[in-house]
Chain A
Amino acid sequence: MIQVENLMKRYGNQTVVDHISFEVKEREIFGMLGPNGAGKTTTMEMIEGLRDPDDGKIVVAGVDAKRQKKKLKQHIGMQLQSTSLFDYLTVKESIELYASFYPKARPVKELLVSFDLQEKEKTWVKHLSGGQRQRLAIAIAVVHDPKVIFLDEPTTGLDPAARRSLWDIVLQLREEGRTIFLSTHYMEEAEVLCDRIAIMDRGKILALDTPRELIRQLGTNTRIEFPSKDDCYDSEFSTLAGVKKVVRLENDLVQLHTDQLADTLQQLIPLADKYHLPLNGISTRTATLEDVFLEQTGKRLS
């Protein structure tokens, strides 16, 4: 549905999107995961035809995004990172306004119902909650029944309940047969929603696969973390059973990557006893996308 080849964007002498290539399949939820300033928004805006790339090729639903912008805009819908709605218009008026920009639009009533905004029909955008506002932004994004939808950090700043209700909406959009390209800096969101994820940092795509495959590629499935001020024991930690890697984290934390949790712990406890290392605050968990991200970029996302 979307083909991106060798895409590049430069601001001044800083390359914010550095020759990336990828493909988004039809009826897929494709996630772009990365910290602020990674180049996610710029990438999206170039695909949406809002910014001109300095180099590269973009095809969306068979339309050249650089040359056929008018045609492109008929096929795509978008929700931008900032609200981008008029404070003093009501929900209904906002939908009607955007509906008028397209030759063909869905009935307002139908959108109000499917985005659970019937009761807010006459409320000013100014008085909506964050979640309601995002639902309205997405309702407007699909007002012309587009094939492809772009959602730029749709749940940033929302409380957990509102976030979950928005996830349901995104999944519903895919059920309707649409292709969804979303960016996020929430690991959980990417893991729950996305069929495939591209991890982006400093303008480059570092990894691209299904969440499951990305985690599997880490090689080890468990993380053990505990406080340890000195790094003089790190070499000994690496000899413990099952440990593949020892990583020093900020805040004097050390992290052991293992695929044999029980064996590693059994050997770790006597070792800690021997050197009088306090193991309070120790935690173990299965590897997540967060670890994929750490592995790829050398930094934590959140």
Chain B
Amino acid sequence: MIKAYFQLVKAQLLLFARNKNSFIWSLLLPVFMMIALGTLVGGNSNQFSIQVSIIDHDNSIMSKKLSESLTKAPGVTTVALSEKAAITRLKQNDLQMVIIIPKGFEAKLNKQKSKATVTVYQDKGNLSTSQLSSAIVSGTVDQINKQLVHFQPKILIDNKGISTHQLQYMDFLVPGILSLLIMSNNLNGVAAQIASWRERSILRRMQGTPLSSATFIAGQMTARILINLVQAVVVILIATFIFGVNVYGSWGTLLFFVLLGTLTFMSIGFTVASLAKTPESASPIAGLISFPMMFIGGIFFPIRQLPDFLQIVVQAIPIGHLTDALRGIMNNGATFAALQVPLLILLAWTILAFTVAALTFRWDVK
């Protein structure tokens, strides 16, 4: 029924384009979020910064030089604290990193063949900030190392790694908004639409024709994938041209993850619509699922250290992985090789959710 498939895709695209609400929610809302959160959270220092406390036990010329370089490193805000206080605040997540320069740092440096050590404490539970922080510290230390040995670089690296990006909050936010958009468009959008079609007997009417449910679902999926891809491109373009956000990774990889996320959340949406006892309860159930995901999905803010049981939940659900992947691609230029974990988890979710959706799908009201 190829004819039916194309007609269904066309119909869904027309329905989307002609419904003012869907337009407003899918394009104005993300832009509004960028403006609102960008100005609110970005504040004076529009920088995506990490809070670092440097504890200098050596108080030598070299140690001061190191802490000075670290202070000047992009994206770093230093906080002066005692060692004890700093560690406490790190545990409370008020700090992202504590760097300790031990006594005898300079002495060791000046001695031949001995190495000086700097101890770094950081919160490993938060992937994006810990990676960023490590990159900043190692970059700075590396520079000093090179200066000390009067290193003449033979190979020049055109460094496009994390430490050279001026990561702004907006860079962090936009992939999060994309992820949120994909989730709400599909999970909430599909659940609400299918439920309303069921309530208004639209599905039952289609059931009265030779149309198969497989053709119907395929048409829905195709149309929604197209809508989501276009939407993602538009949001990213707005972010790029108006808010100066960069896409460091490949667009292909990025759109592949948009597609994967769309399929996952759409399948969950179908399942919710099918399992809801009444059509009216489908939307609230979808909301109940997606609302907490907004907070533990790392959409607006990095996932802070969560209690262990929640940590397991966060690792198991798709939203965080989708956000991580999109962020990795946009901010760090991550490739498939670097995104194996989110890729596998999202694939598993897509297959699982799709199977459940296909098995539970029904045209009518029970």
Contact = CB atoms under 8 A, between A and B. Distances in A.
Interface of A: 48-51, 70, 73-74, 76, 78, 80-86, 88-89, 93, 96-98, 100-103, 124
Contacts of B208: 48-50, 73, 76, 78, 80
B210 A97 contact: no
Contacts of B1: 100-101
Contact of A73 (B15, B200, B202, B209): B209
Contacts of B202: 84-86
Contact of B15 (A48, A51, A89, A98): A89
B201 A80 contact: yes
A100 B205 contact: no
Given A70-B210, A80-B208, 19 more contacts: A48-B208, A50-B208, A50-B364, A76-B208, A83-B201, A84-B205, A85-B202, A88-B18, A89-B11, A93-B11, A93-B14, A96-B7, A97-B7, A100-B1, A100-B8, A101-B209, A101-B210, A101-B211, A124-B18
Contacts of A93: 10-11, 14
Nearest to A88: B18
Given A88-B15, A93-B14, A50 B204 contact: yes
Contacts of B160: none
Given A50-B207, A80-B201, A84-B205, A97 B8 contact: yes
Given A70-B210, A102-B209, A83 B4 contact: no
21 contacts: A48-B208, A50-B204, A50-B208, A73-B209, A73-B210, A78-B205, A80-B201, A82-B201, A84-B204, A88-B14, A88-B15, A89-B11, A89-B14, A89-B15, A93-B10, A97-B8, A97-B11, A100-B4, A101-B206, A101-B210, A103-B210
Nearest to B366: A11
A140 to B, nearest CB: 8
B3 A100 contact: yes
B19 interface: yes
Interface in B201-225: 201-202, 204-211
Interface of B: 1, 3-4, 6-8, 10-11, 14-15, 18-19, 200-202, 204-211, 364
Contact of B200 (A51, A82, A89): A82
- For A49, A86, A89, A100, which residue has the most chain B Cβ atoms within 10 angstroms? A100
Nearest to A74: B210
B201 A81 contact: yes
Nearest to A49: B208
A97 B6 CA distance: 9
A96 B8 CA distance: 10
A263 B11 CA distance: 67
A86 B4 contact: no
Contacts of A51: 364
Nearest to B18: A88
Contacts of A74: 210
B121 to A, nearest CB: 57
A34 B93 CA distance: 70
Given A89-B11, A101-B4, A84 B200 contact: yes
A48 B363 CA distance: 14
A50 B209 CA distance: 10
- For B6, B204, B207, which residue has the most chain A Cβ atoms within 10 angstroms? B204
- For A50, A78, A85, which residue has the most chain B Cβ atoms within 10 angstroms? A50
Nearest to A71: B210
B130 to A, nearest CB: 48
A100 B3 CA distance: 6
Contacts of B4: 100-101
Contacts of B201: 80-84
A83 B3 CA distance: 24
Contacts of B207: 50
Contacts of A124: 18
Nearest to A140: B205
B209 A86 contact: no
B209 A98 contact: yes
A143 to B, nearest CB: 9
A88 B19 contact: yes
Contacts of A101: 1, 4, 206, 209-211
- For B7, B11, B206, B209, which residue has the most chain A Cβ atoms within 10 angstroms? B209
Contacts of A86: 11, 15, 202
Nearest to A76: B208
A96 B7 CA distance: 8
Contacts of A83: 200-201
Contacts of B209: 73, 98, 101-102
A4 B58 CA distance: 97
A85 B3 CA distance: 19
Contacts of A82: 200-201
Nearest to B19: A88
A35 to B, nearest CB: 21
A93 to B, nearest CB: 7
Contacts of B15: 86, 88-89
Contacts of A84: 200-202, 204-205
A85 B343 CA distance: 39
Given A86-B11, A88-B19, A102 B204 contact: no
A97 B208 CA distance: 14
